[in-house]
Amino acid sequence: MAKPIVLQLGDDIKWNHDLYKEFTSKFDIRRSYSMPRAEFIQALKDKRFGDFFAIYRPFWNTGGEMGNWDKELISLLPSSCKVYASAGAGFDWVDTETLASRGIIYCNAAAACTESVADGAIWLILSTFRLFSWSSAAARSGDPDQFVDANKNLGAVSRNPNGFSLGIIGFGKIGRRIAEKAHKSFDMKILYNDVVRMPADLEKSSNATYIKDMNELLATADCVLTATPFAGKTLLDAAAIAKMKKGAKLINIARGKLIEEEPLVAALKSGHLSAVGLDVHYNEPHVNKELIKMRNVEVLSHNAGASLDAHMGFERLGMENILSFASTGKAVTPVNAHLINKSPSATSSTVAALLKGCAFIISRIPAPLDPSISAASILVSVIPGATRFTRTPLPAYASDAAAA
């Protein structure tokens, strides 16, 4: 029996050779290496990689030469493709909704870089409170006058973070780990805002207090930190920044486009904000020229999650996701699983399976399907006299459970 095909993007495996040996024993690995977009599209059209079951991208720095995974690319994937496991935490470069509409699970690797990102966040917290960016720039300038200036004057305006409040926007695994480290290291008071409140045990282990209204968190926290995915909309614009507590600090370790930088510059110049720490930038790889001139601004090159430990974890977690999905039908770190059961194709597949062999009935199913309508409801609408069965609860199917 032929092994399922996995399309591996980018470089060779570098660390987890034992797991890769198991991986290659179960899958037929096809490679795209570093194809530019036009060549990759043609390869998909020509079915050069065959009818692959999964896509595996073990590294963040390679395997993305084809550009964003949008509808154009996703439409060319074979119907056999069921899972895409990639390095990295963010997924604003891949259209997870379109993948879901094709019944494809997308798995990120945030769990593999949680410690690295949290450590980077702790550095930015410490640097913004203590203004180490000023001290570092003065020392690196080689100018004795700048050195003396920082040496004499920085201590009059820098603060220890101990006891101040940290407001975290986005309280997933990374946000919670930042909270734990900030509380244990600096005894900071942890506030958080998220669309979903965490269970009581997670709040307790993170020493965190839920703030339902983000504006309340902005007005309350001494330091605001964004740790939420970018969903296509700026989170902190001029109006939101104006609501922040006077003299507060702002840190972004998530995605650059979450924060508008022009009002950020204005808030720093006016003194409304006292310091800013950015691992990510609105126009990456370009960094705002006004911000880099300010000694109360710490800037990094999107490196918070970049460590050898994280890369080793990316490599392993991607394989674990594909192996798990192949053996159990469930991935380890799915991002869009909740969307797949609501997609038209998923509902259509459920209905077709239930009516297998009933060509006349299948021909009456409307297309395209509304994903908000359950498979059970569609059956009632297309089977003659089926309404008489509605007095008895119809069996629950997996695709209906999420749509309910």
Residues 6+ apart with CB under 8 A from 12: none
Using CA atoms, how far apart are residues 278 and 251, in angstroms rounded to an integer? Answer: 6
Decide if 175 contacts 212 (C-beta within 8 A).
Answer: no
Could you tell me which residues come within 8 angstroms of residue 47 by beta carbon, excluding any fewer than 6 positions away?
78
Are 122 and 185 contacting, i.e. CB atoms less than 8 angstroms apart?
yes
Interatomic CA distance for residues 253 and 131, integer angstroms? 18
**Nearest-angstrom CA–CA distance, 278 and 291:** 10
Strands across the sheet containing 165-169: 208-210, 189-193, 165-169, 223-226, 248-252, 273-278, 297-299
CA dist 377 and 261 (Å) reads 49
278-334 tens-digit pLDDT: 999 999 999 999 999 999 999 999 999 989 999 999 999 999 999 999 999 999 999
Q: Half-sphere exposure of 100 toward its Cβ, with a 13 Å CA cutoff? A: 18
The phi, psi pair for 3, rounded to 5°, reads -75, 145
Mean pLDDT of 254-266: 97
The catalytic residues are 255, 284, 302
Confidence tier at 109 by pLDDT (50, 70, 90): confident
Full-prediction pTM beyond 0.75? yes
Q: 313 near 113, Cβ under 8 Å?
A: yes
Provide the pLDDT confidence category of residue 230 given band limits of 50, 70 and 90. Answer: confident
For 106-120, 189-203, 216-230, 387-401, which range has the lowest pLDDT when averaged over its residues? Answer: 387-401
> pLDDT for 160-215, tens place per residue?
999 999 999 999 999 999 999 999 999 999 999 999 999 999 999 999 999 999 99
Instruction: Indicate whether 219 pLDDT > 90.
Output: yes
pLDDT, position 380: 46
Query: What's the length of the chain?
Result: 404
pLDDT in tens, 336-370: 988 886 544 444 454 455 445 554 444 454 544 44
Q: What is the largest distance, in Å, between two alpha-carbon atoms of the chain? A: 90
Q: E strands along 253-325, which residues?
A: 273-278, 297-299
